[in-house]
Amino acid sequence: MWNKFNLCNLWLALVFVLLSGCSPKEADGVLVLSDAPSYGATLSQDASLALISTESAGVELWQLSPKTLKHRWQHGPTSNESIALALSDNGVYAASLSRDSVALWRIDDGAQVGLWSLPSAGQALALSDGGGLLIGLADGSVMSLVAGQTKLIRFLGHSEKVNSVALSADGKLALSGGNDYQAILWQADTGQPLQTQQFDARVLAVAISSDGELAFAADAKADARIFASQTGKVISELRIKQRTMTFSAARFSQSNTALLTGTPFREVLRWQTKDGKVTGRWQVSLSNRPQNKGAVVYSVAETGLPQTPVASISSSGRVEYWSTR
């Protein structure tokens, strides 16, 4: 009996040591932007700016170094209703999306450039360097518009709700993913389809590299692909070892050699573009509110800093910086 008891204790201790050794590292730096529940947030391409939406403060644009509140906007006449946010890669425009409207602001002076009503419930948002907007809708359509222009493209390539959209920096290439198991690459200014990726489940996340060369799409199971925009040829499939993995954020590195992703379950991952191999894995922290048991990663970006090259922002209201050591 004594030997059996001690053997059991030894086994438990070994399990504890192994689990402790595998526990995620804490972030190398943390900026708290809000302690209030957030509806959404995004980082700029270079992680110098953060846009966050909360019920109490509306839509806030923060400069991160040094931490400075640049603008506070209100989406809606009486309360903040924004569910998705976007920043242009060149840092000129910001946008927010509610269920019934989309707003565009100029970052330099904080002026509102436009506010448009939507024909169906808004679901997803993307923004180009020239202020071009891409809005995925619940009725399966996608709206493409540019401030100051009367031309409006309504893409009807999907048959069910659109969950995610992306735009190249120049606003020419659009990518949309929906409940119809499709990710479709198309021309934003004409609505002409270019490539279609077929999946076995709902497509929940899409991304396009800044230069439009690479595209990414992932479904609700474990099918996540990087493919060439020009040909549709699959370059790599992410090496996901679990049965399912869903993504709440995705962005290509500025060199296109890596893909950064975030999940609804606190994870930040970095993948090699060429072979889909994981080269970094981190876990974002929880807020101080005891009622919040998890954190959704809203956005990921490269910082350009050698010590902490990866940044994330999550529903905890925290911007976190990660080393690759």
pLDDT tens-digit series, residues 267-320: 999 999 999 999 999 999 988 776 667 899 999 999 999 999 999 999 999 999
Backbone phi and psi for residue 190, each to the nearest 5 degrees, phi listed first:
-125, -20
Consecutive H or E run containing 152? strand 152-155
Q: Is 11 helix (H, G, I), strand (E, B) or coil?
A: helix
Residue 210 clears pLDDT 90, i.e. is over it: yes
Region of poorest pLDDT, from 180-189, 216-225, 289-298, 300-309: 289-298
One-letter identity of residue 18: L
Question: Can you give the C-alpha Rg of the chain in angstroms?
Answer: 20
Q: Domain boundaries in the chain?
A: 35-244+268-280
pLDDT given for residue 76 in this prediction: 72
Region of poorest pLDDT, from 8-12, 79-83, 167-171, 189-193: 8-12
Residue 7 clears pLDDT 60, i.e. is over it: no
- How many whole angstroms separate alpha carbon 133 and alpha carbon 31? 29
The CATH code that applies to domain 35-244+268-280 is 2.130.10.10
Name beta bridge partners: 196.
Answer: 184
Mean pLDDT of 208-235: 97
Sheet with 267-272, strands from edge to edge, namely: 249-252, 258-262, 267-272, 278-283
Torsion sign (Cα): 287, 249, 146, 141? negative
**Which residues are CB-neighbours of 220 under 8 A, at least 6 positions away?**
201, 202, 203, 204, 244, 246
As a whole number, the mean pLDDT across the chain is 90
pLDDT given for residue 70 in this prediction: 97
Consecutive H or E run containing 4? helix 2-21
